[in-house]
Amino acid sequence: MANRIPQEIIEEVLQQSNIVDVVGEYVALRKRGRNYFGLCPFHNEDTPSFSVNEDKQIYKCFGCGQGGNVIGFLQELEHIPFADAVRRLADRHGIKIPEKDLSPEEQRRMQERQSLLAMHQLAAKFYAERLEQSRLAQAYLKKRGISPEAADRFGLGAAPEEDWQALHNALSAAGYSEQLQLLSGLVSRSAKNGRCYDKFHGRLIFPIRDARGAVIAFGGRSINEEQPKYLNSQTSPIYNKSQHLYGLDLAGDAIRSRGQVVIMEGYMDVLSAHQYGVENAVASLGTAFTGEQARLLHRYAPNPPDQLEVLLAFDGDGAGAKAALASLERLANYEFTQPRALVFPEQLDPDDFLRRYGQAGWQRLLEKYAYPTLDYLLLKAMERHDSSTAAGKGAIVTELLPAMRRCRNATELDSFILQLSRTLHVSEAAIRADLSRGGRSSSPTERSSPSRPVRLPTACRPGRPCRPANRQLLIFGLSDKNIFETATAQLGENFPSTEEEAQLIAFIQELGAEYDFDPRTLFNHLDSEKEGLRQFLLKLLETDCPTDDREQLARDYICSIQRQAKKERLLQLQKQIAEADQSKEDTLALMKEKYELTRELKGL
C-alpha cells in the first residue's frame, strides 16, 4: 500500500506530524524525563506503560508490545489501512496527495466518502430551509421551548410532509445516483413498488455532526403521531453511532474549559441544556457508552493527564435509571474522574427539569443530587427493596457487592461500607463477610461447585501485582481441564489474584463446553470489546512455565493459595475483633471463626 503514495509525500507527512500532538488527542500524556507516558490505548492497564519518544517520533507500549511511528499509531488505533492513515495526517497539515497515486479501489472509496459528506451537507441545508415552512415543526419547537437561535445553532430542519420524494428528487437533480442515496440512508426503497422515498419524511430533523462539525447523519423526530417516535441514520461509510456523540462539535470548548462533560440521552435534552448554559452537554446517540466514545472524550481533558469529570443526566424514569446503571458500570473501565449520576425529581427528564427550574435549579441539582457510583446504586437498590426487613437488607447488599468489588479506592470502599452499615442498621462485619464470601451463605459443597462463577476477591484491586502461585496455576489450567476445574472447586474466589485473572477465569466458565482447553482457540471467542482480555491472554501464553509434573505443582500451588487466603482472613478478623463494638454476639462469632481458621492453618 505504501507504494501507492509517493515516498516524498510520506516523508513530508512524517516530517510535518509531531507524534506527541497526534497521540495526545487520544491519550492523556505526561512528560517524564525525555519521554511522555500515558495509559496504553491498545490494552487495559492502571499504571502507564505507554511511552512516546518525541526525539525519535516513535511510540512503544511496554505492556502489550505495540509500537511504531505516527502512521502506525493511527492504523492500529483507528483500524484503517496505511494509505488512509497517511491521508488523514496529510489532510491535517494541508498536504495534497495526487489521486493518480491511489489505487482504483482507494480512489473509489475516497470519492464515495466525499460524495456522502457533500450529500449530507446538501440534505442538511435542504431540511433547514424548510423548517420555517413546517407548521407542525414550529409548533413542536415552541411547545418544547426551543428558541430560533438554538434551532439555527444546531442546524434543525424539517422534512416535507406532503411530498414523499422531495429530498430524493433534490439529490437526484444534484447528480447523486440512486445507489449512493440508498447507501447514505437518506433514502429508502419501498418493498411494495420498488420506488425510492425519503426516509425522514414528515419529521423534525436533527443533523448529527462529527467533532469537526461535518454533517454525517440525521435523527428524525415524529411530529404527526407517526411511529416510531425517533428514526435515526443507519451505519454508513461516514457514520457509526458508537464513534460519535451528539453535540460534541458545539460542546468541545466548554468541556475543555470546565473539565467536565454531561452525557444525556436525547437530542432535545442537549438543546435545552445549551439554551440554559449547560454548554458541556452531549448525547450518546442511543448506544451504550463505548470505547470509541471514551477515547473521543479523552481528547477534551483540560490539562493532561488531568482526568475529565463525567456526569450522567439520564431521564428520571425506570428506563433512565437502568441506562445510568449500565453506563456507570461501563465508565468504570475508563480513565475518568469518578463518574456521577444526577437524580432528577418527579421522574423528570433533563429537558423538563431545565424548563421548570432553570439554570439555578440545575446548579442546586449538581450540588446536592449528583451521586457517585456506589451511592447511586444504593439509592436505586433501596427503591426496589424493603430495607426494613432482613430479606430486603440482604437483597440490597447482594445487589451492591459487584460494584463494591470493582471499587478501586480502598478509602472510598471503607467509607461506603460504614455508610451502608448505618443506613441498613447492620454491622460492618456482616457486610465485609458477605463481600469476602461472595454475598451469600452456602454449604461447603455449593462453595466448591465448579460451575459457580469465580468472583473477584476484595483484595483483587486493579494495579495490584499478581501472585506467582495464582498466575502459574491459571496458566496450567488454560491447557488442562482437570487442573482448572480442581482449582475452581477448591479455591473458588481465591483462584484469581488480580482482576484480569478473575475476568479470564469467568470468561472460560461462561464458554463451558465450547472451550476445548487449547488456549489458542480462546482467541476465536475474544472480539474487539475484549481486547484487554486478549492482550492479557497473550501475556500469559508468553510466560515460561515448568513442564514437568504439572499435577503435583498444581496441588502445591493450591495448598499455598489456601494457606495465604486463611492468613489474610485471620489478619482481617483480628482487626475486626479489635474494632468491634462490645456486642457480644458479633464478637463471639468473629472469635469463633478465628479459632476455626487457626486450627485449619495448622493442618495445612
Predicted TM-score (pTM) of this structure? 0.61
Least confident of 1-5, 141-145, 376-380, 455-459: 455-459
Long-range contacts of 579-587 (CB under 8 A, 24+ apart): 580/429, 583/427, 586/427, 586/429
- How far is 42 from 331, CA to CA, in rounded Å? 17
Where does 134-236 have alpha helices with state H?
135-143, 148-153, 166-173, 178-184
Report the share of the chain in percent with pLDDT over 90: 41
Please write the tens of the pLDDT for every residue from 289-329.
Answer: 776 787 778 777 765 446 789 999 998 777 788 888 888 87
Helices marked H in 130-216 — which ranges? 135-143, 148-153, 166-173, 178-184
Cis peptide before 228 (omega within 30 of 0): yes
Question: pLDDT tens-digit profile of 343-356?
Answer: 998 889 999 999 99
* Beta carbons of 167 and 120 less than 8 angstroms apart: no
Q: Is residue 16's pLDDT more than 90?
A: no
* Residue 160 cell numbers, joined: 416535507
**pLDDT-derived band at 449, boundaries 50, 70, 90:** very low
Per residue in 129-183, pLDDT (tens digit) is: 999 999 999 999 999 999 999 999 999 999 999 899 999 999 999 999 999 999 9
What secondary structure does DSSP assign to 334-350, as a single string? S--EEEEEE--GGG--H
Q: Could you give the C-alpha distances from 321 to 241, 364, 406, in angstroms and in order?
A: 22, 20, 20
Q: What does the pLDDT read at residue 455?
A: 44
Q: What is the mean pLDDT of residues 42-54?
A: 84
